[in-house]
Structure 1
Amino acid sequence: MGFLKQDAPVVEDFDAWSQGSRAEKIVPMAQHWAQVGFGTPVALHLLYATKILAYAAIALMIVLLTPGISGVGEIEQWWTEPIVLEKVVLYTMLFEVIGLGCGFGPLNNRIFPPMGAILYWLRPNTIRLPPWPGRIPLTRGTSRTPVDVALYAALLVMLVVALCGSGTGPIASLNSSIGVLPVWEVAMVVALLAACGLRDKSIFLGARGEVYGSLAVAFLLTGTDIIVAAKLVLLTIWFGAAVSKLNRHFPFVISTMMSNNPVLRPRWLKRKFFTHFPDDLTPSWISRWVAHAATAIELCVPIVLFFSHGGWPTAIAATVMVAFHLGILASIPMGVPLEWNVFMIFGLLFLFVGHAGIGLTDMHSAWPVVLFAVLASTVVVGNLSPRTVSFLPGMRYYAGNWDTSLWCMKPSAAAKIEQNLVAIPSVPAAQMKKVYGGTKTAALYQYMAYAFRAFNTHGRAMFTLAHHAMAGRDEADYVLTDGELITSTAIGWNFGDGHMCNEQLIAALQDRCDFEPGEVRVVLLDAQPIQRQTQRYRLVDAATGEFESGYVRVADMANSQPWDDTIPVYVDAHATRN
């Protein structure tokens, strides 16, 4: 890869390549990805690194402007003040809910502009997706109203107000001379986040409510209960993420992520993460070992942190977890959850090193345990029934196992989306043409995106099921687009979450675009429940509804190659075609 130039795949005979089947066209793209990754220019990685530094610098500035906080040279006197963590939590929530964090920029296929979120959520008539419109009063509908805009704006204003606030005074049990923000300020943030989330789940997910919202709730408590509750939140995050990786999918994430790692530059080294390049691109023993080691670290080391209460066990455990998050950060993973990893490093140092001595025996109420029970229950339900819980509150982070979708659309459907949606960016195919300056190059990168998806186990199922979705029709009439990209265009935010590109979004687009039968056909693939070795799927025509359902086996996906789109599909007996 060059500093400014993309390391693009080379196809010597483009005409011959373009005449191949989809699977045949993915083969050279997958082989290129295995030793280069997406080929991102170094300058783009530096852009993301600069964004991380800017995030950290602004956080430090906000903390230093807090009354009672002295300069950087006296950091040892104030870095464990509870208001420091409190403001970093609220600042990071603001950073994320504006759209500057997860899902930002070209590495999340968001190019013009590099973010959505605030550009959509302050704009009436954009699409909103209420989580329970049939159960929660005053949440029906999918069109953003002035009320929704006002709620979101109020959340932004309240976060800024809190970040400018002062501490309420000394807290002896925390050895604090400054204290924490007034409870009403944090309560208002939590209430507004909840109100926004009930009207539009994308705002709650975009704010990373399961992380920063939960930590904000911890600051509604008093004394040592704040620290205990915050420790339990981080413990749940790590434990939930580790449990979700107990599957056959995660080694595929490792091999794919290492291929795209800007630090591991030699091609020969990247090829080592695959069984036998270029013919067998399943994960090698190295990828599997790294996956098992990472899972063990995330599962076991946080327990040591939580119960060690200082000394060399805490020092070793904290060092391991810092290295763990730095490893993720250095890979600049697709979806770019970069600032989240920076926050987790700061959070673990603040809570488990700076306040190592505070544990369960220091609780003065049961509320920390109640918060933990709510989060843990969500994780359990999310693993047992992933279709009912987003992978974010389910804390199934980067496990290779989340709900996904693939949209088979005719060009006429893309035109209708352009004409009828209140949205900012154009559909993904049009953006690619603008960036790469020609149909041929854009086609290559379109198939590079297909290869990336196919490197994950669920990609093989999605491309297989695409044949079912377009059965009886000319597949050349359709353009296949990842559901995450449709979601990005439609609602302004996406982070690998199939819960935002399911039947609810299909219906919202149908209401606005009036697709003809067969014009848009969508593959919806549920994540794997932890107790089963299968994944359910549904095929939906935007105009006429679901017309097929069934399941695929995880073993069949895990034993296939990225270009394999013929894995066995088990169709439900009641399925009907139209």
Structure 2
Amino acid sequence: MGFMTGNPPEVDPATFLERPFLDRIRVTSTHWVENGFGSPKMVHTIYILKLLVVYIGAGLSIATFTSGHNVLDIGAWWNEPIVYQKLILWTVLLESIGFAGSWGPLAGHFKPMTGGFRYYLRPGTIRLAPWPGKVPLTSGDTRTVFDVALYAALLVNLVLALILPGAHTASIDAAIADNSGLVRPAVLFPIIALLVIIGLRDKIIFLAARSEQYLPAIVFSATLSFVDMIVALKLLIVVVWVGAGISKIGHHFSMVVPPMISNTPWMPSKAVKRAHYRNYPNDLRPSKVAGGVAHVLGTIVEVAAPLVLLFSTNRTLTLVTVALMVAFHLFILSTFPLAVPLEWNLLFTFATIFLFAGFPAWDGYGVTDMSSMWLLAAIVAGLLFFPILGNLRPDLVSFLPSMRQYAGNWASATWAFAPSAEAKLDQFIPRPAKITRTQLLDTFSPEEADVVMHQLLGFRSMHSQGRALFSLMINHLGEDIDTYTLREAEFSCNSLVAFNFGDGHFHNEHLIAAIQRRCNFAPGEFLVAWIESQPIHKGVQEYKVIDAALGVIERGTYKTADAINEQPWLPNGPIPFDVQWTLEVDANRALTDPGLIEEPKMHERGDSSGVHS
């Protein structure tokens, strides 16, 4: 890869789509092994500059100057509580406006690079309530003026909380003789209320703000005494770490590491990249090297090190572990994962130092120093509720509150459009960005753009979900899979609602129904294969097949091991499925008789055959 030039697959773009679909997947998946996405170094430089100038430069300047400190005098503010509080608020602000995670070309935002506020300040764009029809005053899927006003109020309150000086409290003055106070609770309570209200009407903004992690931190800051707040913040970050570590147990994370290493811009050695696969280019399952990196440097570190930090009273052991977790987050940041949670990793780097080196257990900030064991139990129970529920019932909880960040075990989907049908998305859905392929046409020819879109499918095929998704598509499209337009749903979702972050819950049947109400696809024009995360106690995953015009047309399960043991290009054919329910509709008659769509014939099935729709 050069600074301005990328490294695309060595194919003839003009004839690429003439190849069979699975042949295209083999080309893009094997290309990924040595080249990753093949982005020019300029792309990564843009992200680095954003971090240095906007997140670190502007963020630290605001957090320190408004708290009475000189940003250059690091020794005076690195363990100042109000600076940490304001860095959290700064991160929430950037996430909320779409300028942090899920930003830019690595997340599918090519032009414009920023989604976020461009969507959320525009009435008429799509919003998605988490429990549509079940919570009063949250029905519908169209952003209203009221929604825009709520979002604008959130941004205003975040700015106020950032610029106002701190307020002293008896608890912080008793703990720290010379301090700059804390962010005023009076400006935090409106933020808490607005995030909750917005979240009930639109899960997109709620999760885009990373509320599953930052909202508890804001609640702790607004309601707890100083020592209790510090201990609660430690518990929060440890739950995030340990939850992510536990979710990496199993085979999914072993499949995440090889494509992540392959996409690392500072890794020039193709031999090192190939070593993470069993036998490049014929067997792209993860090697023992990949398993070791995943579960020794990943799983074990992310579970054991945080517990050491939480309970250690040994200064040397604590500081060594702090250094280990700092290196852990900086390494993840350096790989530029496609959801680009770069600001999150930097904040956790600082949080590790601030919480465990700045306020260590031996100075009175250990778990047992909380003012009430009942309060401690309540906080622990509250923090563990969604991770436990989300691992047992992933269908009920997004993988973000489940604390399963980048574990490889996520809900995913593939979209398939009949020829020319994808154009309806741009024709009928108002928003500030076009579909991903259209955005690419400012840089690439149409044929080159098609190759790039297949690189995204190649990326998905490197994970277990890709094998299952493409198998479902083969079963339902048959030979038509070679002529349909298949898309990676995460990137398509980004173009429609501004955010995704790798969670298929953003583009389940609720989004598909919202799209259908605007685009009116005919049966068979827009088909979705959708799979849920694997529950921690089961060896199977649930799937759905959705026809935009008909709704869910099939449900069932598949053995996770069957997907893990296959190659990205499915040389042995589609993996087997246990089809448990299908919707029987004569597609030709449904075109002229809408009643067939409203009252379809349903029946149970228990075989493993595919259904051609």
Task: Bin the TM-score by the shorter chain.
Answer: over 0.9
Letter in 1 for 2:324: V
Aligned residues between the structures: 574
Q: 1:264-279 counterparts in 2 under 5 A?
A: 264-279=267-282
How far is the alpha carbon of 1:257 from its aligned partner?
Answer: 0.3
* Gaps in structure 2 of 5+ consecutive residues: 586-613
- Matched with 2:476 is 469
* Gaps in structure 1 of 5+ consecutive residues: none
- Matched with 1:316 is 320
1:336 aligns with 2:340: yes
**Distance in 1 of aligned mates of 2:26 and 2:358:** 51
Please give the secondary structure, in 1, of the residue aligned with 2:257. helix
- Matched with 1:572 is 579
**Distance in 2 of aligned mates of 1:521 and 1:391:** 24
**Distance in 2 of aligned mates of 1:31 and 1:223:** 53
- Matched with 1:96 is 95
- Matched with 2:386 is 378
Larger deviation, residues 476-485 vs 134-143: 476-485
**Distance in 2 of aligned mates of 1:12 and 1:474:** 22
**Distance in 1 of aligned mates of 2:495 and 2:421:** 14
From 283, 291, 295, the equivalent of 1:288 is 291
How far is the alpha carbon of 1:28 from its aligned partner?
Answer: 2.0
How far is the alpha carbon of 1:474 from its aligned partner?
Answer: 3.0
Q: Aligned in 2, Cα 1:202/1:361: closer, same or farther, shift over 3 Å?
A: same
CA contact (8 A) 1:309 1:352 kept: no
Q: Aligned in 2, Cα 1:547/1:496: closer, same or farther, shift over 3 Å?
A: same
Please give the secondary structure, in 1, of the residue aligned with 2:442. helix
How far is the alpha carbon of 1:573 from its aligned partner?
Answer: 4.2
Structure 1 residues 507-537: Cα deviation after superposition (integer angstroms, max 9, x where no partner): 1111111111111111111111111111110
Please give the secondary structure, in 1, of the residue aligned with 2:486. strand
1:327 aligns with 2:331: yes
How far is the alpha carbon of 1:76 from its aligned partner?
Answer: 2.4
Letter in 1 for 2:407: A
Give the TM-score of the pair, scaled to structure 2: 0.91
Please give the secondary structure, in 2, of the residue aligned with 1:435. coil
Q: Aligned in 2, Cα 1:514/1:13: closer, same or farther, shift over 3 Å?
A: closer
**Distance in 2 of aligned mates of 1:368 and 1:84:** 25
From 418, 421, 424, the equivalent of 1:416 is 424
- Matched with 2:202 is 200
How far is the alpha carbon of 1:84 from its aligned partner?
Answer: 1.1
CA contact (8 A) 2:509 2:552 kept: no
Structure 1 residues 185-207: Cα deviation after superposition (integer angstroms, max 9, x where no partner): 11111111111111100001000
How far is the alpha carbon of 1:173 from its aligned partner?
Answer: 4.1
CA contact (8 A) 1:124 1:146 kept: yes
Letter in 2 for 1:273: H
Larger deviation, residues 149-158 vs 36-45: 36-45
- Matched with 1:148 is 147
- Matched with 1:456 is 463
Structure 1 residues 483-529: Cα deviation after superposition (integer angstroms, max 9, x where no partner): 11221122111111111100110111111111111111111111111
How far is the alpha carbon of 1:439 from its aligned partner?
Answer: 2.9
CA contact (8 A) 1:551 1:570 kept: yes
**Distance in 2 of aligned mates of 1:143 and 1:492:** 14
Larger deviation, residues 375-384 vs 154-163: 375-384
- Matched with 1:228 is 231
Structure 1 residues 141-191: Cα deviation after superposition (integer angstroms, max 9, x where no partner): 111111100000000000000001112125234315222121111111111
Letter in 1 for 2:38: G
CA contact (8 A) 1:173 1:223 kept: no
- Matched with 1:253 is 256
Percent identity, aligned pairs only? 40
**Distance in 2 of aligned mates of 1:505 and 1:254:** 30
**Distance in 2 of aligned mates of 1:476 and 1:280:** 24
1:533 aligns with 2:539: yes
Structure 1 residues 37-92: Cα deviation after superposition (integer angstroms, max 9, x where no partner): 1111111111111111121111210122124324523x323322211111011110
**Distance in 2 of aligned mates of 1:359 and 1:20:** 61
How far is the alpha carbon of 1:334 from its aligned partner?
Answer: 1.0
Larger deviation, residues 412-421 vs 378-387: 412-421
How far is the alpha carbon of 1:422 from its aligned partner?
Answer: 1.3
- Root mean square deviation, CA, Å: 1.6
Please give the secondary structure, in 1, of the residue aligned with 2:511. helix
